[in-house]
Amino acid sequence: MKKMFLTLTATALLMGGFSAAASAEKTAPTPAVTTTTDAVVSVVANEGISSYYPNSLVSIMVTGSQIVTTARAQIGKNSGWDCSAFTQYVFNQHGISLPRVSADQATFGTAVAKSSLQPGDLVFFHSTVAGKSGVTHVGIYSGNDKMIHCPGTGDLVKEVEFITNSYWAPKYNNARRAI
């Protein structure tokens, strides 16, 4: 995984603008920065990152292990989430705005082969809801063939094996990297 460092500086804060610089361990893509008068900056790097940081100066590096740590902190809790609200919450804690429903999340970021999964990747499943086709469930890959997910609205967040699990394995659809 290429580690991305985005630094926003307030050189022109009083003039209503920000400037951005990017660096990476190897090749650094140049981010596109859009500045608005209310100081909400949208940073879009070539990695598919879309984050919003209102009224703040931010230096970020989001890793899959940070995503997994945030997800694991929710295991055993019931916050009234469904699966996609859970993933949206976890990624939002790191400034990454995911679409609301799993079918839309399944097109966000970069496609990842099952053999190339890394912690923090989103994993998607089809036909988990009776009468519905297409992507109907999402979880966060946590490593070692496991995912952290909220099985259903109001259920407890759980970490489960899914690669060879008799329920999840045949329903696996695809994976995406959002960081």
**Tokens standing for 76?**
């055993």
Task: Give the Cα separation of 20 and 17 in Å (integer).
Answer: 10
94 is catalytic: no
Q: Which position among 94, 126, 149, 150 bears the catalytic label?
A: 149
Task: Give the Cα separation of 57 and 94 in Å (integer).
Answer: 14
Q: Which position among 83, 94, 126, 150 bears the catalytic label?
A: 83
Residue 81 CA, chain-centre distance (Å), reads 16
83 is catalytic: yes
Neighbours of 162 (CB within 10 A): 20
150 is catalytic: no
Task: Give the Cα separation of 114 and 130 in Å (integer).
Answer: 25
Q: What is the DSSP string of 18-64?
A: -EEEEEESSPPPPPEEEE-TT-EEEEE-TT--EEEEET---EE---H
As annotated, the active-site residues are: 83, 137, 149
